[in-house]
Amino acid sequence: MPHIDLALPLVGSQVPSDHGYPLYAAISRALPGLHGATWLAVHPISGRAFGDGTITLTRGARLRLRMPIDRIGDALPLAGRRLDVEGSALQVGAPTVQVLEPATSVVARLVVIKLTHFAGPSDPDRDAVAGAFSAELQRQLAKLGIAGAAELRARRSIRVAGRRVVGFAVRVSGMTPEQSLRLLEHGVGGKRRMGCGVFQATRGGTDG
């Protein structure tokens, strides 16, 4: 089933920079039917970041939801709702549908992958974590039939229910159109409903 991005305008002042978990919680409160929806992915909200841990929304801010095209009806009732994201009020407008298009290079702001070998209270060697993360990332890409080159970028994290989960920004390039669409649709890693593992084309849809 083809996937799309459902883009709903947002009117508000700001949201926390680390808003993946509270945003999904707000969506689930507004539409309980979306709670636990395995077919749903939620893009991070873009805006102007400040050093105080907030993002100021710009005029074109959108809540973008990635989903199979036959699930649009499940999310349409979000239009007109008000979301409370940790005290930040966001008014949701009428959506538009954005078709996913292939790109030779795609990026995800944050990918999180569970690495069982590094579970525990100690702080493992960062290079070892990056190596294990890269290996598991390549395994998941291969499982999707994607042969592109994966690059780990900035180390980032997300707070989920009071627990800090660490991952990396990821760029994947050198794919066929079919492979890039597959990655856009399925993503990699976990917590896609909280903004993780959701890819989009790099600027211009090309490498660089």
Q: Which tokens sit at 3?
A: 């996937």
Q: Which tokens sit at 18?
A: 């680390």
Last residue of a domain, one of 47, 67, 99: 99
pLDDT beyond 90 at 128: no
Whether residues 141 and 184 fall in one domain: yes
Whether residues 117 and 136 fall in one domain: yes
pTM of the model: 0.90
Q: How many domains does the chain have?
A: 2
Whether residues 137 and 166 fall in one domain: yes
Domain that holds residue 70: 3-99
Radius of gyration of the chain (CA): 17
Whether residues 91 and 114 fall in one domain: no
Whether residues 85 and 154 fall in one domain: no
SS3 for the chain is: CCEEEEEEEEECCEEECCCHHHHHHHHHHHCHHHCCCCCCEECCCCCEECCCCEEECCCCCEEEEEEEHHHHHHHHHHCCCEEEECCEEEEECCCEEEECCCCCEEEEEEEECCCHHHCCCCCCCHHHHHHHHHHHHHHHHHHCCCCCEEEEEEEEEEEECCEEEEEEEEEEECCCHHHHHHHHHHCCCECHHHCCCCCEECHHHCCC
Whether residues 17 and 88 fall in one domain: yes
Whether residues 15 and 76 fall in one domain: yes
Whether residues 121 and 75 fall in one domain: no
Whether residues 126 and 197 fall in one domain: yes
Asked if 100 contacts 5 with a C-beta cutoff of 8 angstroms, the reply is: yes
State mean pLDDT over 159-182: 94
Exposed/middle/buried for 174, CB within 10 Å: 0-12, 13-18, 19+?
middle
Last residue of a domain, one of 66, 99, 132: 99
Asked if 150 contacts 137 with a C-beta cutoff of 8 angstroms, the reply is: yes
pLDDT class for 205, splitting at 50, 70, 90?
very low
CATH number for the domain harbouring residue 141: 3.30.70.1210
Q: Tell me how far apart the alpha carbons of residues 58 and 48 are, in angstroms, rounded to a whole number.
A: 7
| First vs last C-alpha separation in the chain | 30
Whether residues 118 and 132 fall in one domain: yes
Say what the pLDDT of residue 59 is. 87
Q: Which tokens sit at 103?
A: 């790109």
Last residue of a domain, one of 44, 78, 99: 99
pLDDT class for 52, splitting at 50, 70, 90?
confident
Whether residues 22 and 80 fall in one domain: yes
Whether residues 125 and 183 fall in one domain: yes
Say what the pLDDT of residue 42 is. 98
CATH number for the domain harbouring residue 55: 3.30.70.1890
pLDDT beyond 90 at 121: no
pLDDT, tens only, 14-31: 999 999 999 999 999 999
Residue whose structure tokens are 């805006």: 47
